[in-house]
Amino acid sequence: MQKVYNEVNTLDKRCIKKYNLSEDLLMENASLNIANFIRKKFKKSKTVLVISGFGNNGADGIVLARLLHSEYNIRLYMPFALKSSIAKLQENRARKCGVKIVNKISKCDIIVDCLFGTGLNRELSSDSINIIITLNSMDSYKIACDIPSGIDIKGNISTIAFKANTTITMGALKKLFFTDKAKDYIGKIKVASLGVSRKLYETKSKSYLLEKSDLILPNRNKKDTHKGTFGHLSVIIGDKKGAGYISCNSALKFGVGLITAITNNEDLPNSIMTNKILPSNTTAIAIGMGLGDTKYKDEVLYSSVPTLCDADMFYDKNILKLLNKDNIVLTPHPKEFCNLLKLCKIDDISIEELQNNRFKYVELFCKKYPKVVLLLKGANVLIGQKDKIYINTFGTNALSFGGSGDILSGLISSLLAQGYSSISATISGSLSHTLAAKKYKGNKYSLCPNDLIKQLKKL
């Protein structure tokens, strides 16, 4: 896991004070990281256009132009009058080195966006919008310095944003990268060192970016076992039985020893047992997928075993009976989460309001219900418990198909049945879901439930 921060200005100031560094030195190191990235990736014959704004982010660009001058064909474009003293200092240095300063955007191999930094808290001017439109239209490799211009401090985009192939961010990862709206603009993220290692630069954090190494797959290295050794999952089958069946099938392929479909309908594959009541040896329950108006027994609500709730459960007031219990996992998509927030009397908001403030509402919910593990679906998955948030960015638009969420429910509940903690099951289930989709070799539009389930064995 990597630490993620709301802002890094505090970290910059701490770094300057604690390690006796200076703003100038931090800036030199920041730009050196971008310069070295370009040196490693591109031949010296390439043309680099650096677009610098009027503040410190623009100053980073001016430093970059100076560092690469005489190695590459550098063009420095500064469309606005410089405001910060350090930017003016850097311009003076660049001019003395002979950096070519241009007054218009022209064809180039590489674009480095240094217009605005993390402090953007206002609407873009029409001139800025036109510049970004022009840059986005160009067939060049695009690098964003710190963040792509146009993304605000909350990670939202009011009009337009620079669409980067790579974002080289300064010092540490920032939450604003991981909003759903930013995902199409940030490209690959690299963290630049500012003169000390990240271990020294970073402090404690309550938000974390998940990595592939955080996945803990089911492990069957014990030899003296039987089917009960690996848990017994009970899946409540609803009106749309296909959803419940998909969950059963994905759970069965993910290590659980026994699965029972709780249903009055026995027309299910032979690999899945059916029962009308909850078996006494149940070790986890999954409920909500395609539930509809199906009546379920009170024993489900009052059971002490780990329980996953999905889909239709977020429109059922009975879910309130579960929220103060241990080992409860909720997996809503945005619309369902909005309804859950309303049921819990946290807020009554639109989907758009939620999507503009995903971190905020996950934090509010987890503060009110600290025992619950919440997974909010989206382009980037947010997983919250108590005061911590974990971010899964491995999601792909290939997962945008009916049944995708049912597979996720099966994966997480399978791990719950096998004895994983609620947070560990949710993290590993979510990572398995997204990483399996990434391994699919077909066209993204062709992925379907059976294909995704088959990819699980390749993890």
Q: Looking at residue 270, what is its pLDDT?
A: 63
- CA angle, residues 317, 319, 325, in degrees to nearest 5: 145
Q: How far apart are CA 414 and CA 255, in angstroms?
A: 7
How many C-beta atoms surround the C-beta of residue 276 within 10 A? 10
Residue 40 DSSP code: H
Instruction: List, in sequence order, every residue forming a beta bridge with 75; answer none if it has no partner.
Output: 49
Amino acid 165 reads N
> Which positions ≥6 away from 203 have C-beta within 8 Å?
11, 14
Sign of the torsion angle spanned by Cα atoms 203, 205, 207, 209: positive
Contact (CB, 8 A) for 437 and 390: no
Domains, the chain: 2-205 (3.40.50.10260), 213-458 (3.40.1190.20)
Contact (CB, 8 A) for 259 and 233: yes
Q: Looking at residue 124, what is its pLDDT?
A: 87
Q: Looking at residue 267, what is its pLDDT?
A: 67
Q: How far apart are CA 119 and CA 55, in angstroms?
A: 10
State the DSSP string of 18-54.
Answer: HTT--HHHHHHHHHHHHHHHHHHHS-TT-EEEEEE-S
Q: Is 10 exposed, middle or buried (0-12, 13-18, 19+ CB in 10 A)?
A: exposed
Count of helices and strands (H, E) across the chain = 15, 19
Segment-wise mean pLDDT, segments of 10 residues, the chain, 459 residues: 94 94 93 96 94 92 95 95 91 94 94 85 88 96 95 90 96 95 95 93 96 93 77 92 92 93 75 86 94 81 93 93 94 98 97 96 97 97 97 94 95 97 98 94 90 91
Pair of tokens at residue 423: 């947070």
Q: Looking at residue 73, what is its pLDDT?
A: 95
Q: Which of 90, 68, 119 is nearest to 24 (CA)?
A: 90
Q: Looking at residue 266, what is its pLDDT?
A: 65
Q: Looking at residue 279, what is its pLDDT?
A: 92
